[in-house]
Amino acid sequence: MGRNSQQRRAHKQRQQATRQRSAPVRTGTGGSSPTLDELIGFACEAAFGPGADKALFARTMVLLQSLEAEANPLDRPSTRVVQVLQRLTESVLDGGWQPADLVHVVKREWTVRAGRLATGLIAEHARRFEAPTRAPHAWLGQLQDLGVVDAARTTVVGGRGDLLAVWARTERLHPEEALTAAVQVLAQVRQLPRLPIVLTVPSKWGATNRGVLPTPHSTDGIDAKALQLIRALLAKAEATTFEAEAEAFTAKAQELMTRHSIDAAVLAYAAAGSRTAAGVESRRVHIDNPYAEEKAGFLSAIASVNGVRSVWVPYAGLCTMLGFPVDLQLTDLLFTSLLVQATRASAAATAGNRALSTASFRRAFLVAFAHRIAERLEAARSHVAADAVHEYGESLLPVLASREAAVEAAYEAAFPNATTMRRRSLNAAGWYAGTAAADAADIGAGAAITRG
């Protein structure tokens, strides 16, 4: 949108606000005029959650914006909103949320632009907590991916000065638009519940993380060159339009994945014996709209075949996977690749047929695709597991059994109240089309993904 269009829209919003200025808003404590904090609270309640009310939100924002124009800088609503956002960001990041999680959930609910505001808040937090020299390396990796930390100079980028004003200028927003967006983000962030803690939280960081540079991303037990080759093969399988070529690429990738998964299991068992529970880790996978619930079910199906448990956290738009590092990495890679195949197959199935271009068809297609793919992967896994037993001997069976038990124990400890997702009624045409597409999907001829 051009700057002139933005200015016209902002002018129109101000005119509408003027007409609404006399509309009633809730009173404060004891029937008095609401305080600034109460007004912000009213706006948050009206912006997001079970009490959301667009009309009330608009009327409350009129009052906040009038105060913004009249008050001195220290008493402005924007100043207070940013202060509360900074405090809540600290609380949320200490409550199990990681930087990438927070940006994801804000962007998912509102806009990419709002996600960049969350990134600015994270930058301010990183600066205040000296993240480059104190944060866990996995945390630093997320900050680097978000553009918050400059790895070359080990410094925080952004997070200085008037965060809201800087963000508004960068996004070319009128101050009223910026304040409205900030209140919406605040409304969501203040309702975020705690998540299971995966990485050491900022309040528990030590004085140093033993080095200012984040470590290279872990290969999770997979040889770096092999991992690079697996990724390259899967990328080629996703890109090609020729089934035979895709099959060859994916088959080779899965041969490598299977070999590394089994070898990692044997080596880990030899080193730790029955104490393999210590090797169970967790990983979060962000799930984007549309059809997030169906995509989460797809991931769960693939994870289950590969010795990994996956839990869908709908309010956060993410799945938490529990398993051994190799299996987590390979499940993530396979899910990404098969989701690309499913998306492409769904588009092909609906091409030129408007009757099939519906949300119910695509949802059913994805569920059926996942169900059938899981069946094929399980059959392939059983075949390769039998070959592995022949190669390693019967001693491989207790290795696999102990790892499965360790993952299950970790899952029950982390998510004692987890429930099974309820399946809604599905579009029959989408189900049959998805099943057919899954039968045609390339999971690798003669290869399989095995439990590690």
% of the chain exceeding 90 in pLDDT: 44
- Residue 348 pLDDT: 83
- Residue 47 pLDDT: 98
Which range has the worst mean pLDDT, 2-11, 148-157, 413-422? 2-11
- Residue 375 pLDDT: 82
Exposure class string for 49-87: b at 16+ Cβ within 10 A, else e: eeeeeeebbbbbbbbbbebbeeeeeeebbbbbbbebbbe
- Residue 442 pLDDT: 57
Which range has the worst mean pLDDT, 127-136, 151-160, 374-383, 416-425? 416-425
Mean pLDDT of 425-441: 59
Residue with tokens 């499913």: 342
- Residue 438 pLDDT: 62
How far apart CA 175 and CA 164 sit, in angstroms, is 9
How far apart CA 188 and CA 18 sit, in angstroms, is 27
How far apart CA 262 and CA 303 sit, in angstroms, is 16
- Residue 356 pLDDT: 76
- Residue 311 pLDDT: 94
How far apart CA 88 and CA 190 sit, in angstroms, is 7
Asked if residue 352 has pLDDT above 80, the reply is: no
Question: Which long-range contacts (C-beta less than 8 Å, at least 24 apart) are formed by 392-398?
Answer: 392/262, 392/266, 396/262, 396/265, 396/266
- Residue 427 pLDDT: 55
- Give the number of C-alpha atoms closer than 13 A to the C-alpha of residue 359, restricted to the C-beta side: 7
Mean pLDDT for all residues in the chain: 82
Asked if residue 73 has pLDDT above 90, the reply is: no
- Residue 306 pLDDT: 87
- Contact call for residues 438 and 372 (beta carbons, < 8 A): yes
Asked if residue 210 has pLDDT above 90, the reply is: no
Query: What digits encode the pLDDT tens for the residues 280-304?
Result: 899 999 999 999 999 999 999 999 9
- Residue 398 pLDDT: 84
- What is the amino acid identity at position 299? L
Mean pLDDT of 191-213: 85
Asked if residue 220 has pLDDT above 70, the reply is: no
Q: Distance of alpha carbon 23 from its chain centroid, rounded?
A: 40
- What is the value of pTM for the model shown? 0.80
- Residue 216 pLDDT: 41
DSSP secondary structure code for residue 75 in this structure = G
Enumerate residues 6+ apart whose C-beta is below 8 A from 139.
Answer: 98, 99, 131, 199, 200
Between 358 and 33, the more confident residue is 358
Asked if residue 25 has pLDDT above 90, the reply is: no
Between 402 and 152, the more confident residue is 402
Task: Give domain limits for the chain.
Answer: 3-204, 224-440
pLDDT band at 217 (very low <50, low <70, confident <90, very high): very low
Mean pLDDT of 340-358: 81
Mean pLDDT of 130-144: 93
Between 193 and 346, the more confident residue is 193
- Residue 243 pLDDT: 58
Between 110 and 338, the more confident residue is 110
The residue among 313, 297, 300 whose CA lies nearest residue 424 is: 297
Asked if residue 429 has pLDDT above 70, the reply is: no
How far apart CA 444 and CA 441 sit, in angstroms, is 9
Asked if residue 62 has pLDDT above 80, the reply is: yes
pLDDT band at 248 (very low <50, low <70, confident <90, very high): low
The residue among 336, 344, 386 whose CA lies nearest residue 365 is: 344
- Contact call for residues 321 and 303 (beta carbons, < 8 A): yes
Mean pLDDT of 382-386: 78
Residue with tokens 């289950």: 304
Supply the DSSP string of 82-108, one letter for each residue. Answer: HHHHHHHHHHHHTTT--HHHHHHHHHH
